[in-house]
Amino acid sequence: MLEPPVVTRSDHSLRASIGRPAQWSDGQVLGDKWQPPLGGGRYYLLRLAFSLRPSERSRASISAADFCLRLHAQAGQQAVVFDAYPQEQLVEQDRSVTLGIGPAFKLGTVDVEVAKAETTIDFGRAIPVIHSDGLAEAAFCWRYSVHRRQPLTGSRLMYAIVHLPAGMARSLATMELAVTTQDALGPILLSPPERDLSKLRWMVGEGPTSPAAG
């Protein structure tokens, strides 16, 4: 089990945790409707989450939060983030969102982007201001920004589809969370302490999904 590491300032003004990731293979998601791509390769749907809990006594505000998923090469082969959600949200959104995964194993909202959704996911309602980078690369980051109507507190949920090339059964993945708080003295960057970094490594693909030995 992936224990959520805790990030705190010396005055205990903020508790930040990363939830246990979950993954499903292409066949588990689409079942008999799954058609493997030419040339082989596998796809895995990942569900990722983090939570920010400021102290009631804290005078600092959370101004930004960056969550990154990194995939590491194995025996000369490289997995990539094939698709992700959310990707870009320039204004805060507060409406119910249902994600769909189509035959090409792409994520999208059912009413707009996926013409033929083979399976659906209830994403919830609120999506804050966010932008992202790293699509089709080995590292993908969700970058959340503060919004005047809703602070960056509570839990954030993200989905990613990882593509493993033919012959690659699994990939070591790491998660990173960096939070910027703002107080009277200026911005302060928080990240996991060194002792917790080993808890943020796990395997995508076949075989054990627990954190890799650090």
List the beta strands (DSSP E) in 55-133: 61-71, 80-85, 93-101, 107-109, 119-127, 130-133
Is 212 domain-assigned? no
* Per-residue pLDDT tens digits of the chain, which is 214 residues long: 344 444 433 345 778 888 889 998 888 887 776 666 667 788 999 999 998 888 777 777 888 999 999 999 999 999 999 989 888 775 555 555 666 676 666 666 554 444 344 455 565 555 568 899 999 999 999 999 887 666 788 888 899 999 999 999 999 999 999 988 887 677 777 777 666 677 788 999 976 444 443 3
Is 177 domain-assigned? yes
Is 210 domain-assigned? no
192 in Cβ contact with 181 (< 8 Å)? no
Query: How far is Cα 208 from Cα 118, in angstroms, rounded to an integer?
Result: 27
Q: What is the pTM of this model?
A: 0.79
Is 69 domain-assigned? yes
CATH number of the structural domain spanning residue 15? 2.60.40
Is 99 domain-assigned? yes
Is 131 domain-assigned? yes
Is 211 domain-assigned? no
Residue 62's closest CA among 157, 177, 147? 147
Distances (CA, A) of 193 to 118, 200, 205: 41, 11, 27
Is 148 domain-assigned? yes
Query: How far is Cα 47 from Cα 125, in angstroms, rounded to an integer?
Result: 16
Domain that holds residue 124: 6-204
Count of domains forming the chain? 1
The amino acid present at 135, given as its one-letter code, is L
